[in-house]
Amino acid sequence: MPILRRATVGRRSLLFCVLVRATKGTVACIPFTVRNETTNTSPKRKRGTGLWPSLALRASVVPSHLQYNAVQAVDADDIHAAPYMRLSFFPSSSFHDLLSGRRKGLAASLLRAGLGLAEIPYTWAVRRRNLRYDRGRAAIHRVAVPVVSVGNLTLGGTGKTPLVRWIVQWFLDRGVSAAIVSRGYGARQGTENDEALELRAELPGVGHVQNPDRVAAAREAIERFGCQAIVLDDAFQHRRLARDLDLVLLDASEPLGFQHVFPRGTLREPVDGLRRADMVLFSRVDLIDAAQRDWLRGQVARYAPQAAWGELVHAPRGFVSRQGLQQPIASLAGRRIAAFAGIGYPAGFRHTLESCGCRPVAFWEFPDHHAYTPADLASLAARAKELDAAAVVSTRKDLVKIDAERLGDVPLWALKIGLDFLSGQEPLEQRLSALLSPLILRERAGVRGTTSDEPYSAE
């Protein structure tokens, strides 16, 4: 049975729900708000699943642009899945202000205390699950080609997609066919999610399989595409599929999730989980100074002394339209623009825009993986016109879901993001190269990857 706690904050009521089902290993932590006049506040169990993957507040009356993707509802094989359901909550930035302590006052302190209590059972479940894998009580499956995993330690966006794209392109440049495997958060039945659409636009012809069962997805990728390597997107916590290189990406602006596991912080698991990482890369390091970088490196070294280290920045490459037209950064620098984003860390996107001379007169946050409705687009178009914006700018991940060149009379562009290494590129390439030698031998022998559980070894 769910455990509900209710406290009144202004004109809204805060409910916090923690669900733990030990028989299935299911854990869900859901903070959300509804207006006091709302009466139907009970989460509805989705029939036929045996779990709690679908939780919704039908009575929500908060506008969609104020909704925050703040649900954690996952099964035993994927307990660290990123939030994917939309419930009314704070905008992303306000939620982070609450967790970080920047939001002051008695109400905020009480909220943090409540979230801290809910952190305890979630952390216990996470540690229990990891212990099963560490002790060999849970099966880990290997496939016949090398697997590179790109993941993170916190909820929200850390820039995994640009790194996945970079690694896949690295393989392609060396004549090695690679496929991408991901869970498919936010995808509707029979469709690809926004990240898959973005990667397809950037890497045409590269196979991509989305399936919550990553083991089955990897086998399917090998069989369908005859790939020689697999890149796992967002899979550090998915431990059923063995990997030959485990990369963890941390956002320098919020690297350790406020030192707390969800829901008190944004960590998907305790920081000591970094001991499984082969390499830790910090993204957006341009947001912090050299002293802060050294401190973070020391913190990571406490938990993962064996891991290599790298530093990345997200570099703007230009603007692109829905039809693929491109223009340079200078074309909008200094002009009056509006912007919006439906990603895990919208503040990072805003910083990147400002770093290239584009200061939005308005910036709207949507939930991660948001499916834009005609009403959303009409509202954005109206606001952009009111603000006399020369253009509206989004992320590439948002643009692939919007079949329009303009919002009303205002041109719509997406900011193209590339990846620049400040350090760590050489050790990363060395580790990737180590995966190629056995591949070359297999190709000379005329052997392709199969869907068997034959262990792959880079030795």
pLDDT(216) > 70: yes
Please name the residue ranges forming H helices in 155-225: 160-173, 194-202, 214-225
Task: Report which of residues 57 and 176 the model is more confident about.
Answer: 176
Cβ within 8 Å of residue 125, ≥6 positions away: 20, 25, 27, 79
Considering the domain architecture, whether residues 294 and 434 belong to the same structural domain is answered as yes
Q: Say which residue, 19 or 167, is predicted with more confidence.
A: 167
What is the token pair recorded at 223? Answer: 């069989």
457 domain-assigned? no
Residues 243, 285, single domain; the answer is yes
pLDDT tens, residue by residue, 275-327: 999 999 999 888 888 888 888 889 889 999 999 999 999 888 999 999 889 99
- Check pLDDT > 50 for residue 71: no
More confident residue, 69 or 355: 355
Alpha helices in 52-153 (DSSP H): 92-100, 106-134
The pLDDT tens digits of the residues spanning 400-426 come to 899 899 999 999 999 998 889 999 999
Report d(CA 121, CA 114) in Å as an integer: 12
Rounded Cα–Cα distance for residues 69 and 170 (Å): 33
Q: Higher-confidence residue: 220 or 437?
A: 220
Does one domain contain both 79 and 129?
yes
Q: Do 277 and 342 reside in the same domain of the chain?
A: no
Domain total in the chain: 3
Q: Which pLDDT value is given to residue 446?
A: 52
Mean pLDDT, rounded, for 76-105: 56
Please say whether the beta carbons of 285 and 420 come within 8 A. Answer: no
Output DSSP code: residue 172. Answer: H
CATH number of the domain encompassing residue 284: 3.40.50.300
Residue 189 pLDDT more than 80?
Answer: no
Say how far residue 260 (Cα) sits from the centre of its chain. 18
Residue 458 falls inside a structural domain: no
Q: How far apart are CA 195 and CA 44, in angstroms?
A: 28
Looking at residue 178, its pLDDT comes to: 96
- Is the pLDDT assigned to residue 13 strictly greater than 70? no
Where among 105, 134, 163 does a domain terminate? 134
Across the chain, what does the average pLDDT equal? 77
Same domain assignment for residues 205 and 262? yes
Q: H-helix or E-strand containing 153?
A: none
- Report d(CA 446, CA 449) in Å as an integer: 10
> Do 288 and 176 reside in the same domain of the chain?
yes
- Of 112-116, 240-244, 426-430, the one with minimum mean pLDDT is 112-116
By residue range, what is the domain housing residue 366? Answer: 316-418
Identify whether the C-beta of residue 77 lies closer than 8 Å to the C-beta of residue 130. no
The reported pTM is: 0.73
**Rounded mean pLDDT, 191-211:** 85
Bigger pLDDT: 355 vs 73: 355
Kindly tell me if the per-residue pLDDT of 187 is higher than 80.
Answer: no
In this structure, the answer to whether residues 366 and 284 fall within a common structural domain is no
Predicted local confidence at residue 105, as pLDDT: 87
Residue 48's Cβ-count burial label (10 Å; 0-12, 13-18, 19+) is exposed
Contact criterion met (CB below 8 Å) for 43 and 60: no
Kindly report the backbone phi and psi dihedral angles of residue 37, in degrees, each rounded to the nearest multiple of 5, phi listed first: -75, -10
Does residue 270 share a domain with residue 164? yes
pLDDT in tens, 326-361: 999 999 998 999 999 988 778 888 988 988 888 899
Phi first, then psi: what are they for 407, rounded to 5°? -105, 100
| Range with the largest mean pLDDT of 152-156, 190-194, 435-439 | 152-156
pLDDT at position 35: 30
User: Predicted confidence band at 430 (pLDDT cuts at 50, 70, 90)?
Assistant: very high
Same domain for 296 and 373: no
From the list 161, 91, 173, the residue with the least C-alpha distance to 314 is 161
Report yes or no on 409 lying in a domain: yes
* Position with higher pLDDT, 98 vs 35: 98
The token pair that represents 134 in the structure block:
């560490």
Looking up tokens 């550090």 gives: 236
Residue 86 and residue 67 in contact, taking contact as beta carbons nearer than 8 Å: yes
How confident is the model at residue 68, as a pLDDT? 32
Within-domain flag for 450: no
| 238 contacts 232 by C-beta, under 8 angstroms | yes
H/E element holding 249?
strand 245-251
pLDDT score at 321: 93
Which of 134, 157, 191 is the endpoint of a domain? 134
CA distance 87 to 60: 8
In a domain, residue 141? The reply is: no
Contact 378, 392 (CB under 8 A): no
| Residues 291 and 225 reside in one and the same domain | yes
Distances (CA, A) of 37 to 12, 87, 205, 270, 321: 9, 17, 52, 38, 43
Phi/psi for 159 (5° steps) reads: 90, 35
Distances in Å between the alpha carbon of 246 and those of 168, 183, 207, 329, 365?
15, 17, 21, 34, 31
Same domain, 37 and 84: yes
Share of the chain above pLDDT 70, in %: 74
- Give the three-state DSSP class for 404: coil
- Pairing of the two strands 326-327 and 308-320: antiparallel
CA distance 54 to 46: 6
127 lies in the same domain as 25: yes
What confidence tens digit (pLDDT) does each residue in 243-284 have? 999 999 998 877 788 889 999 988 999 999 999 999 999 998
Would you say residue 281 lies in a domain? yes
Neighbouring residues of 274: CB distance < 8 A, sequence distance ≥ 6: 153, 248, 280, 300, 303, 304, 307
Distance CA 223, CA 449 (A): 8
Q: Does a structural domain hold residue 373?
A: yes
On the 0-12 / 13-18 / 19+ scale of CB atoms within 10 A, 224 is: exposed
pLDDT tens-digit series, residues 25-64? 333 333 333 333 233 333 333 333 332 233 222 222 223 3
